[in-house]
Structure 1
């Protein structure tokens, strides 16, 4: 299936004591659908997967699987530095979600395409009934490899290969992947701050954390681009960038943005170390800054 439109990289909702709060995932899914988000990328970087136990990751997978519908495509990130763990998570997800994804092992880093393909192939085989995505995020995984070269080999080795979650600003490599074998593979653009730059390259699907908060803005950017109104589209992209910069300035984007979901009606709770969750007074200051740039009426509802 070719995934189109916005896919939200979702948070791991937690109670005030830091334990999982999967009870809100049903309302979380309804919130995303209401804002025309077409899919979920769970247990990823935004979802603090490195701070979760294997059982907690499975609990999140199970909770999202109970919301499964034609309105929301579910991709479960099952990657781990341990190939054994990644395979276990893939097998667990095989009857619960629509697709799986993995990033490269990030402690003992992979330095060749062949090693990366071997890792991906092993995980994909653990859920042979599901489409498989490679999650390319070299800034965090350290696997700064050429994705066109990956596609050329992986396409022959991994029968279930569906595409790449491309979280990198190398637009040349992205374009080559997008065009490979006449656009056969679903290359999901994953760099929210340059969403607008992906549009002239033919991007049709995107994965990102800010699609939780700003889905209406990104759809407006896309509509303005299609009408040829680049000035207004760029102005909105700048506002989306300012949202990231403002929240990041209060202690780091991941934790602050997760806590901000409460102000959109979905209380995802606190973040785990090393991320921070600000106080309610801090969020009042954040909203003042967002209001100054005319932003509050543009947020997801």
Structure 2
């Protein structure tokens, strides 16, 4: 799995109920912008605010709108291992891979426990690649991923890699070295996209790949051609995009609403995320145009 993978939003009607009919347009939008995959039911997709049935409905809708150009990864993690296993089994004949975050209320404090947790989930979809979703700022599982790979290799037969959403580039680099082409270490920290390139990153998962896919592909092209100054300038613009939306009430909710500006109306956000008005987004769009992002939005 290579190139950009969008961490997708959960489309909703104005009353806050799921709007899975929107996923067909969403899928076509991502494909048109050369996004290679979807990471559904994750943090960007508000999985903690969804019921089990709603998460299954999202999985089914993406499955029904799957194309050969879009790789589907379904996040099935949950504080309840029983729920995570149920979601993994449900996804087993619908998507291309599954992933799971560590439990984030009663938090894991050892790699052995993490392996036990992942193994229980992965075995419920033994036909699918399994990714551990490493996002310690939310899960609290402050564990070394290079050590996890080393210890998990004999315990989780379908372990495919890690969604590495952390700014610890040293651990990421060790994971890439240890992977030896056996594991796919997907980088998941959008603001450090450019920093992942010298470390050999080839696949990325992030929410801003919904909005700015052309920009990130250009950063990659510039880096490969040795034009670091121009690449760094574009990365700074991507960071300003995140900072501006975050300043308007939090990135998750505001970023979801910004999809409407790009032609894919994902509807309102669920509490505690912010839902802004159309006039707010006119102002945001003008501010983003002012910092030079007008030509870099996904279309």
TM-score, normalised by the number of residues in structure 1: 0.99
Distance in 2, matches of 1:243 and 1:28, equals 21
2:173 to 172, 175, 181: 175
Partner of residue 269, structure 1: 267
1:227 and 2:225 matched = yes
Pairwise CA distance, 1:70 = 1.7
Deviates more, 1:64-73 or 1:27-36: 64-73
Partner of residue 88, structure 2: 90
Distance in 2, matches of 1:275 and 1:181, equals 36
2:135 to 134, 137, 140: 137
1:44-85 per-position Cα deviation (integer Å, ceiling 9, x unaligned): 000000000000000000000012222000000000000000
3-state DSSP class of the match of 1:163? strand
Counterparts of residues 65-76 of structure 1 (less than 5 Å): 65-76=63-74
Partner of residue 195, structure 2: 197
Distance in 1, matches of 2:102 and 2:179, equals 24
Distance in 1, matches of 2:282 and 2:263, equals 15
Unaligned stretches of 5+ in structure 2?
Answer: none
Distance in 2, matches of 1:280 and 1:296, equals 18
Pairwise CA distance, 1:153 = 1.1
Pairwise CA distance, 1:181 = 4.7
1:292 and 2:297 matched = no
Runs of 4+ in 1 over 6 A off after TM superposition: none
1:257 and 2:255 matched = yes
Partner of residue 159, structure 1: 157
Partner of residue 206, structure 2: 208
Distance in 2, matches of 1:18 and 1:48, equals 12
Unaligned stretches of 5+ in structure 1?
Answer: none
1:183-230 per-position Cα deviation (integer Å, ceiling 9, x unaligned): 310000000001000000010000000000000000000000000000
Distance in 1, matches of 2:248 and 2:279, equals 12
1:99 to 87, 92, 97: 97
Pairwise CA distance, 1:116 = 0.3
3-state DSSP class of the match of 1:101? strand
Distance in 2, matches of 1:144 and 1:44, equals 19
Distance in 1, matches of 2:227 and 2:221, equals 9
Distance in 2, matches of 1:181 and 1:111, equals 23
3-state DSSP class of the match of 2:197? helix
Distance in 2, matches of 1:283 and 1:65, equals 31
Count the aligned residue pairs. Answer: 299
Partner of residue 244, structure 2: 246
- Whether contact under 8 Å (2:179, 2:185) holds in the other structure is no
3-state DSSP class of the match of 2:127? coil
RMSD between superposed Cα atoms in Å: 0.6
3-state DSSP class of the match of 1:133? strand
Pairwise CA distance, 1:244 = 0.4
TM-score, normalised by the number of residues in structure 2: 0.99
Distance in 1, matches of 2:289 and 2:264, equals 20
